[in-house]
Amino acid sequence: MDFSQSNELNARSRRVVPGGAHTYAKGEDQFPAGMAPVIVRGAGSHVWDADGNEYIEYGSGLRAVTLGHAFSPVIDAVRAQLPLGSNFIRPAHIELECAEQLLRFVPAADMVKFCKNGSDATSGAVRLARAATGRDFVAICGSQPFLSVDDWFIGTTPMSAGIPAAVRDLTVTFQYNDLASLAALFDSHHGQIAAVILEAEKETPPADGFLSGVRELCDRNGALLILDEMITGFRWHNGGAQAFHHINPDLSCFGKALANGFSVSALAGRRDLMRLGGFDHDQDRVFLLSTTHGGETHALAAAIATMRIYETEPVIDTLWARGNRLAEGITAAARAEGVADQVPILGRPCCLVFGSRDRDGNPSQPYRTLLLQELIKRGVLASSLVVGYSHSDTDIDHTINAFGEALGIYRQALEDGVEKYLTGRPVKPAFRRFA
């Protein structure tokens, strides 16, 4: 495969964009050396790069494009809205329409405010929780990799440069599926924790009683429960992980798949909390969310169209079925090559990832790079295995076959040493202190 045009474009991007990408997870350092394709178009589950290479793509737009690239009903809705104007001095009718549509999906919420990025929503939720409770501390799930670009979260990562210690000290962490670790935080910071924020689930499912236990600890200690539904929303269930797991958060944060890749995110929650960001009360007003482009009409048209498709078509069932077939096929291929322990398939069928481990069972970036390298050669672009509604049975078959061939090379690398098969430097963690 030729990557000359992509490599030239990557070099140009590094000169004008810090890190060469606007999202760290999309960075050139997350892909094998010289094999970081620059995408020029997508259709359904396939994308094409600047050199004309075609790939079956997984994890589209970091899990944002769930229906498929350029999905016709969504594009048609956007096209119909564009000639009517995109932004006005007063709210457009479509903002109300989209709000009512979303709230039909999230019965635990009474009000919603739209924004553009997931971090807008989660940081707005944290600010609202602090205002509503009069407390400063926030407890986050330290087992989960990303909740916001803002200081309250990034201060807990290895990339905390530029964030004052006084801010970092206000965020405390607990561990997933470990209620005792959360209870200990409430004990050591008695009456100080405003909110607990977490994703309901990632690769590991919640233990029996964990999520209900988090809810009970929040209620007992006067803290709000914020559920980050950026990934689980419109993937686990039409109503998100809260519907799937039967848990009622105080505040919910949605984004990503909400508008099939268009920039829309949302903070939804109870009326008594959300109204603090308005003016129909006699308490201190909260500067909740005020985004110039939060009501951008064509993006909201995309969100409405996306949600209507979820209401009328079997999107969720298809994601689970396709993902289950993919997981079973790759797992069988890994067993056949004797590397099932080194390359486990993890997570729910609707949101899969794969592990990459060395001979001793330790997570390995070089082996992950080797697997990415061999998959890209075979026309599969898969830093994860997150299926979309447009992935076909043919796509799944091709991907299973590609994995089968790549896993054969993985087995040889375990025997002979990965350096014999890896053509460049290993990929690096997105969160790291030094370059």
Contact 200, 211 (CB under 8 A): yes
* pLDDT at residue 282 is higher than 90: no
pLDDT above 90 (res 118): yes
Mean pLDDT of 240-262: 97
Q: Is the pLDDT of residue 432 over 90?
A: no
Burial environment of residue 419 by CB neighbours within 10 A (0 to 12, 13 to 18, 19 or more): exposed
> Above 90 in pLDDT, residue 354?
yes
The structure's pTM equals 0.95
Q: Is the pLDDT of residue 230 over 90?
A: yes
Q: What local confidence, expressed as pLDDT, does residue 110 receive?
A: 98
Q: Which helix (H) or strand (E) holds 253?
A: strand 251-254
The residue ranking higher by pLDDT, 262 or 281, is 262
Is the model's pLDDT at 385 over the cut of 90? Answer: yes
Query: What's the mean pLDDT in 316-331?
Result: 98
Examine the pLDDT at 147 and tell me if it is beyond 90: yes
Q: What's the pLDDT at 431?
A: 85
List all residues 6 or more positions away from 179 whose beta carbon is below 8 Å from its beta carbon: 209, 210, 213, 214, 217
Task: State residue 300's pLDDT score.
Answer: 98
Question: Average pLDDT over the chain, rounded to whole?
Answer: 96
* Rounded mean pLDDT, 337-351: 98
Q: For position 280, what pLDDT does the model report?
A: 86
| pLDDT score, position 59 | 82
CA distance 236 to 344: 21
pLDDT digits (tens, 9 = 90+) for 10-30: 999 999 999 999 999 999 999
Q: What is the pLDDT of residue 434?
A: 83
How confident is the model at residue 190, as a pLDDT? Answer: 97
| 174-227 per-position pLDDT tens digit | 999 999 999 999 999 999 999 999 999 999 999 999 999 999 999 999 999 999
Is the model's pLDDT at 298 over the cut of 90? yes
Which domains, ranges and CATH numbers included, belong to the chain? 4-70+314-420 (3.90.1150.10), 72-312 (3.40.640.10)
Mean pLDDT of 244-264: 97
Listed in order, strand segments (DSSP E) in 336-423 are 345-346, 353-354, 380-381
pLDDT of residue 337: 98
Name which residue leads in pLDDT, 110 or 289. Answer: 110
Better pLDDT: 284 or 394 = 394
Q: With bands split at pLDDT 50, 70 and 90, how would you rate the model's confidence at 430?
A: confident
Residue 69 sits at φ, ψ, to 5 deg, of -65, 135
Q: Is pLDDT above 90 for 124?
A: yes
HSE value, Cβ hemisphere, 13 Å, CA-based, for 88:
11
> Stretch 106-110: mean pLDDT, rounded?
95
pLDDT at 3 over 90: yes
Q: Which of 213-217, 275-279, 332-336, 415-419 has the lowest mean pLDDT?
A: 275-279
Beta strands in 322-379 (DSSP E): 345-346, 353-354
Q: Per-residue confidence at 423, pLDDT binned at 50, 70, 90?
A: very high
pLDDT of residue 142: 94
- Alpha-carbon distance of 126 to 6, in angstroms, equals 40
